[in-house]
A and B are shown apart, each in its own frame.
Chain A
Amino acid sequence: MTEMKTIEGTEQELVEDFAMFEDLFDKFGFLIDLGKNLKPLDDALKTDNRMIKGCQAHVWLYSELKDGIIIFDADANADYAKGLVAMMIHVLSGHTPDEIINAPLNFIERIGFKSMLSMKRAGGLESIIKQMKLDAVVYKAKA
């Protein structure tokens, strides 16, 4: 089994991946592709209580704790939101509750489209991160 990358390591990789694209259109395109590569979420798991309801798009986030690490799966009704959640899964999935809770996640700024992603825009990143960290807090409390 290959060693799990640190959250910071994955963040740095993403920053470098996005840096390959100069144009914002291509950066968004890359984000959409990240969403397309996301493993499909079983329809049975797309329940209202797992839905992060944005003003425009909705994200379904599912998580489970396996051997002390959290595995996230997700889907969304817009490619953009699916890309955002895929990016966060890429960074956080497979880490312990503590690692997830303590992750500063400042890579968004370094990707260079903070203003596009951080605000309350539909199915926004903020609420996705909040839900992922909340799940981690819940698993930690149960442990």
Chain B
Amino acid sequence: MTLITEIETTTLFDVRKIRKDFPILLRTVNGKPLIYFDNGATTQKPKQVIDAIVKYYTEQNANIHRGVHSMSQDITFEYENARVTVQKYIGAKHEHEIIFTRGTTESINFVATAFGKEFINAGDEILVSEMEHHSNILPWQQLCVEKNAVLKVIPITDSGELRMDEYKKLLSAKTKLVAIVHVSNTLGTVNPVKEIVSIAHSKNIPVLVDGAQSIPHIKVDVQDLDADFYCFSGHKVYAPTGVGILYGKEGWLKKLPNYQVGGGTIRTVSFDETVYAESPLRFEAGTPNIEGGIGLAAALDYISALGLENITAYEHELLVYATEKLSVIDNLRIIGTAKEKASVISFVVDGIHPLDIGMLLDAQGIAVRTGHHCTQPLVAHYQIPGTVRASFSFYNTKEEIDVFVNAIVKSIKRINKK
């Protein structure tokens, strides 16, 4: 049975061939072949994305939405096509529901600012969870301070799952928005977002989903989830840094006031009155990150060509394999054991600071993240100084996991050496 699964995987998913698309994977770090397990922080870029950016600057560079000349029109067409690629990738109904931003953080700040300006008043409540990234806490915390509103927190279980019973209790007539992470960057937990949205909607409460860690790993259909806002970053999904997406339902975008204004957001301007454009242009002030948008489309096309279902299945295989291998190491505890997980494993080794393991792994050419992963309240829940986090991508292999496990054992031995 196992053998059949392995053969099927190899046929569907030739990781050795795929790795050739990622030039950076050939490099060494500290004299050792690179093992890149920090994909939760950022993913590496396939040559298809790199080529798209090089092509943009060598052949296509012009400003968009501005010129009548051919180059401007051509690149405007391509940039708007990138928007359509994103729309299709996440299953949005309209292309004007896709707004280019700098990343997840800006997308969330955007909603906190614009939604907050219009819809949040003193005494209102905003609901987040204990497992949020700081980027999905701080914009709401600041908004609450400014508006004298209240930030409420959905607690989690020790396995790293949301307390859905508590979630239901926390929703009240005062709740104006739920802001929730789809996949936890620290624990890997995949939250039941569809159910969360459905419960909130039964009380007419909109939901924003932080999809930074879900987009690279699992199928996201914003219409199926029925999310009101969905945010993600390009760089976590094999695209360049500095580009991200805010998806907003048409109805909400029409109701939101401007976020930033400036060139590109208007129909007509005079000193007496300015008439603004419709979404998405109304929300995209200034010349955007054009190569970012084009790179994002190239990345999504690349993933689609590999098949997201294949990626999800293969990454799950890596997760299961690594979980088994890590579980037998003495004094090693996996933090985050939810039933539904993406390919992220956080762990601590009792008596050893995560930083020490991270430094020694780095010396062996293995890139992991250590610390609180911008989720300090979550780390506080477990009463630990932080974790070592390995986050896998489809270009990682079981052989790399074997090396990783041996490197952890070697590091622990060195640290505990008398």
Given A55-B371, A80-B359: A25 and B353 interface contact (C-beta under 8 Å): no
**B40 interface residue per 8 A CB criterion:** no
Given A23-B31, A24-B31, A55-B371: A29 and B414 interface contact (C-beta under 8 Å): yes
Interface of chain B residues 354 through 397 with chain A (CB within 8 A): 354-356, 359-360, 362-364, 370-372, 385-386
Instruction: Tell me, rounded to whole Å, the shortest Cβ–Cβ distance linking B218 to chain A.
Output: 29
In the complex, the chain A residue whose C-beta lies closest to that of B407 is A25
A78 to B372, CA, bound (A): 14
- Cβ-defined partner of A79 (8 Å) among B31, B362, B386, B415: B415
- Cβ-defined partner of B415 (8 Å) among A27, A32, A55, A122: A32
In the complex, the chain A residue whose C-beta lies closest to that of B29 is A24
Interchain CB contact under 8 A, A77 and B353:
yes
- Cβ-defined partner of A25 (8 Å) among B370, B371, B414, B417: B414
In the complex, the chain B residue whose C-beta lies closest to that of A57 is B355
A116 to B414, CA, bound (A): 19
Given A55-B371, A56-B385, A56-B386: A28 and B363 interface contact (C-beta under 8 Å): yes
- B414 neighbours in A (Cβ, 8 Å): 25, 28-29, 32
**B30 interface residue per 8 A CB criterion:** yes
Interface of chain A residues 28 through 85 with chain B (CB within 8 A): 28-29, 32-33, 55-57, 77-81
- Cβ-defined partner of A57 (8 Å) among B353, B363, B415: B353
What is the interface size of chain A, counting residues whose CB is below 8 A from a CB of the partner? 19
What 1/0 flags go to A96-123 for Cβ under 8 Å of B? 0000000000000000000010000011
- Cβ-defined partner of B364 (8 Å) among A25, A56, A123: A25
- B370 neighbours in A (Cβ, 8 Å): 56
- B363 neighbours in A (Cβ, 8 Å): 23-25, 27-28
Instruction: Tell me, rounded to whole Å, the shortest Cβ–Cβ distance linking A108 to chain B.
Output: 15
Instruction: Tell me, rounded to whole Å, the shortest Cβ–Cβ distance linking B21 to chain A.
Output: 28
A79 to B415, CA, bound (A): 8
Instruction: Tell me, rounded to whole Å, the shortest Cβ–Cβ distance linking B188 to chain A.
Output: 20
A138 to B238, CA, bound (A): 50
Interchain CB contact under 8 A, A122 and B356:
no
A22 to B352, CA, bound (A): 25
- A32 neighbours in B (Cβ, 8 Å): 356, 414-415
- A28 neighbours in B (Cβ, 8 Å): 359-360, 363, 414
A113 to B26, CA, bound (A): 22
- A56 neighbours in B (Cβ, 8 Å): 353-355, 370-372, 385-386
- B355 neighbours in A (Cβ, 8 Å): 56-57, 78, 80-81, 122-123
- Cβ-defined partner of B353 (8 Å) among A23, A33, A79: A79
A64 to B24, CA, bound (A): 50
- A122 neighbours in B (Cβ, 8 Å): 355, 371
Instruction: Tell me, rounded to whole Å, the shortest Cβ–Cβ distance linking B357 to chain A.
Output: 9
In the complex, the chain B residue whose C-beta lies closest to that of A24 is B363
- B30 neighbours in A (Cβ, 8 Å): 24
A78 to B356, CA, bound (A): 6
- A79 neighbours in B (Cβ, 8 Å): 352-353, 356, 415
A123 to B385, CA, bound (A): 13
A81 to B371, CA, bound (A): 14
- A80 neighbours in B (Cβ, 8 Å): 353, 355-356, 359
- B364 neighbours in A (Cβ, 8 Å): 25
- A23 neighbours in B (Cβ, 8 Å): 31, 363
Instruction: Tell me, rounded to whole Å, the shortest Cβ–Cβ distance linking A27 to chain B.
Output: 8
Instruction: Tell me, rounded to whole Å, the shortest Cβ–Cβ distance linking B158 to chain A.
Output: 23
Instruction: Tell me, rounded to whole Å, the shortest Cβ–Cβ distance linking A28 to chain B.
Output: 5
Instruction: Tell me, rounded to whole Å, the shortest Cβ–Cβ distance linking A123 to chain B.
Output: 8
Interface of chain B residues 185 through 199 with chain A (CB within 8 A): none
- B415 neighbours in A (Cβ, 8 Å): 32, 79
A32 to B353, CA, bound (A): 12
Instruction: Tell me, rounded to whole Å, the shortest Cβ–Cβ distance linking B418 to chain A.
Output: 8
11 contacts between A and B (CB under 8 A): A23-B363, A24-B30, A25-B363, A28-B414, A56-B370, A56-B372, A77-B353, A77-B385, A81-B353, A81-B355, A116-B362
Closest 5 CB pairs of A and B: A78-B353, A24-B363, A25-B363, A56-B371, A78-B355
> Apart from A32-B415, A123-B355, what are 18 other A-B pairs with CB-CB below 8 Å?
A24-B30, A24-B31, A24-B363, A25-B360, A27-B363, A28-B414, A29-B414, A33-B417, A56-B372, A56-B385, A77-B353, A78-B355, A78-B385, A79-B356, A116-B359, A116-B362, A122-B355, A122-B371
